[in-house]
Chains A and B, each alone.
Chain A
């Protein structure tokens, strides 16, 4: 017990100023987790937003990119006369048309200039600003949200997949499970393990839960094969949990780092993303109408195509939102333009808004989290600005 107490104290005093830390903040929001659901998908490797949502209406695009992001003439789907959806995302067109999918084309975390995947992802998941050193960011913003929620059980939030999710790490309880974990136990072995664990409460509880989750065989081997199988397995498991007690789920999809041969690289990644979202929709059934999916990446990519038919690490990028609860069918936020003077550092898309502001407004509208709590505890130092109204 002492150990835990020390840990609590330590995390209360480390990292951010005392006033900004949730444990020292007496405000708490009143409502229990409720029926609304949130899925956060971390796109690891930096998605090229300019290729996913191609601004073909911007006259500068053609000069910057010759073989990629070539708009409707090469099969991308026009969305609004200015942006076109990458062909690999075409399975999501029905969601766009029914207003269940939208995007913000030019957002970013406060991370700038060094363009390291690891630092960028750390900052995205920590939800903090640049005032903290990379090493000081200990817990993730979804965990700090949970720390503020009344009535949180460990099942309230799930990190899905074998990949570590810093976004959920921290002192608030949460669950994690990887759909590929399968316990190929004979009935006899299972019975023997139960007996062996019987007198050890910690192992008894963990073992019983492990065997129960594994026995449900969600995702895992029942998922059909194919290149998007892993993504579907993650989404299937998340949907199943969200149909039970879980209200927040997070997983990551890798494979976005398209330095060369971008058409092949990004198509595979976008197909996985599209399938994950559609699997969530199918798995959630009528709960889809109360679900918001946010797909976020650590930063965007260079506006210019490089010499290998790819793009390099950039700054501003796109965020995708989907779900029955979102007010989609449009691009959110201003378009910064692609002219020479419009770019960040002469090479990257200029972010016009902090990606955390979108996440914060989603949390406010989904879970009734007060704004001052979001700006101090969940995203310390964030100015949320006006409500972009991504929820219906």
Chain B
């Protein structure tokens, strides 16, 4: 029997803290979702647009031999890199500081569901804007709105190649037959296969193709305000999953929104996303009854996410499937920092290089390089993907190396065990911790234990 506050902090948040009391009830857990909304430091697409336009001018001048412009371009790039570093630092700080943690866990979950991946610092800036513009504002509303915000965001349009998709019979394509402009199916495919219905869903290749044609016109360019250009759109109506969209007059974004709303409400989507939430929060092998309850709530509420969260945070399966999940590297580091008694402000107060070297970069060795999942399906969920020899060695090494830097006044072994795991520590761990030869090794044994790495 695990008391609800501990269970909720460990399973639905980022673990226990000696400073922050765990959430007393489900209402406290749910309240944290609102606190994950964008804050005053939010990154905007506008920031990316200004930076890229300024950069293009500087690069052009530098090519023409302007040495001052070359230096200014370098300085501007460094500034963007620094801004990105601060954005990551704030992600850590908000997770460490969120009392219940559920809201920031949902940021991680939905950001991973709608995976994007930046390359150069400017793209990474846009990827940060994606979190603040597409994910955070829509955590607590209808899935349809989250889907629309994510899959029409400039970052997603670039990542899933929508920016190079053109209707083969569009005005642009007909005016420039030499350029061989054509469809790119990537966004349409992932929207159905990953973001909504799921690969087991009830759809065919024809639906993907039709949706790709419907999505033509969506296009981002840093020099333009709008993200929809009718001249790129395939004329005529498209039929996706048996329903026809558009075709009457000029193509517009409304038809795309209507199709996305229907995708969001599709029964396969309800089941796919319900299962995914249960897999993430409860068990790699999800309890089917809970999946069914969430699916029903999705259908009853038209995909209103708070209705699902309300069932999830009170599910008895949280206790019956306790410790079936392994914390991903980000969760591990955040939970460790919390257990060490640091606050969100403490994390924000770190110099940027320390935040990078102590928090962000060590994730790479644990198998989760920040912001760089391999494919659009995001990070793996399975426990065996994270509890690997290398991953575990990296967690042990991090615990030995960085905990004394993060918390120079290391706590007493038993006090740390209680702070990190409350009443949930196993007998073996309670036996082992007092026998460590140094406080540093005692802290490491707690943080490296299966008790702490599972949730």
Residues of chain A touching chain B, judged by Cβ–Cβ distance below 8 Å, are 1-4, 6-7, 9-10, 13-14, 116-119, 133-138, 162-164, 166, 169, 175-178, 181-186, 188-189, 192-193, 195-200, 202-203, 206-207, 209-210, 213-214, 307
Contact = CB atoms under 8 A, between A and B. Distances in A.
Contacts of A189: 436-437, 441, 444-445
Shortest beta-carbon contacts, A-B, top 3: A133-B186, A118-B119, A209-B389
Interface residues of B, number: 63
B160 interface: yes
B384 A178 contact: no
Contacts of A186: 437, 441
Contacts of B367: 164, 176
B435 interface: yes
A164 B369 contact: yes
Interface stretch (B32-40, B89-97, B309-317, B370-378): B370-378
Contact of A192 (B161, B380, B435, B450): B435
Contacts of B189: 14, 136
B372 A3 contact: no
A336 B249 CA distance: 52
Given A133-B160, A169-B374, 7 more contacts: A2-B286, A3-B279, A3-B285, A188-B435, A189-B445, A192-B432, A210-B396
A133 B19 CA distance: 47
A22 to B, nearest CB: 16
Given A3-B285, A135-B190, A162-B364, A196 B390 contact: no
Contacts of A195: 428, 431-432
Contact of B390 (A9, A119, A181): A181
Given A188-B436, A188-B441, A196 B161 contact: no
Contact of A210 (B184, B393, B437): B393
A10 B199 contact: yes
B400 interface: yes
A6 B397 contact: no
Contacts of B365: 162, 178, 181
B396 A196 contact: no
A3 B382 contact: yes
Contacts of A207: 389, 392, 448
Given A2-B285, A9-B199, A189-B441, A197 B450 contact: yes
B396 A4 contact: no
A175 B388 CA distance: 9
B364 A164 contact: yes
Interface in B280-323: 284-286
A200 B454 CA distance: 11
Given A4-B382, A14-B193, A192-B445, A166 B374 contact: yes
Contact of B391 (A116, A135, A192, A206): A206
